[in-house]
């Protein structure tokens, strides 16, 4: 079955710690994306990658970092510089940029 997996589903961290969220896809898609969703709001783009070893900042990249060493994987690190990291994080992929995006199940991060 082709799809997007994210792990873990729930993540709890103490303030000041970096945390890495996993995103893997087996759809052979070139483009991958990270979004953040806060309660009662739409999705906001954090980072995207169109190809391996290349990525671009989205609208709210401050306090986050990513890597794209493999086509299938696009991990997101939430650093201690992110002032309000508690949110629902969604990873997506598309055949190429500008095509329909498919979403993973999400990771709910709580930082206390």
Binding footprint of other proteins on the chain (CB under 8 A): 33, 40-45, 48, 58-59, 90, 92, 97-98, 100-106, 108
| Least distance from other proteins to the Cβ atom of residue 103, Å | 4
| Least distance from other proteins to the Cβ atom of residue 84, Å | 18
Q: What residues does 111 pair with on adjacent strands?
A: 13
Q: What is the DSSP letter of 7?
A: E
| Least distance from other proteins to the Cβ atom of residue 111, Å | 18
Which is nearer to other proteins, 86 or 103 (by Cβ)? 103
Which is nearer to other proteins, 85 or 104 (by Cβ)? 104
| Least distance from other proteins to the Cβ atom of residue 37, Å | 9
Structure token digits, residue 80: 């201690």
Question: Rounded CA gap, 77 and 27, in Å?
Answer: 23
Question: Rounded CA gap, 86 and 47, in Å?
Answer: 17
The answer, yes or no, to whether the previous bond of 100 is cis (omega within 30 of 0) is no
Which is nearer to other proteins, 61 or 80 (by Cβ)? 61
Structure token digits, residue 22: 């996993």
């Amino acid at each position: 079955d082709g799809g997007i997996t994210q792990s873990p589903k729930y993540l709890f961290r103490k303030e000041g710690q970096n945390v890495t969220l996993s995103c893997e896809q087996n759809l052979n898609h070139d483009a991958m994306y990270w979004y953040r969703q806060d309660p009662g709001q739409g999705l906001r783009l954090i980072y995207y990658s169109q190809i391996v070893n290349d990525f671009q900042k989205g609208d709210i990249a401050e306090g986050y970092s990513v890597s794209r060493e493999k086509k299938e994987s696009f991990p997101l690190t939430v650093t201690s510089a992110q002032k309000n990291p508690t949110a629902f994080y969604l990873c997506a992929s598309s055949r190429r940029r500008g095509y329909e995006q498919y979403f993973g199940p999400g990771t709910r991060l709580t930082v206390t």
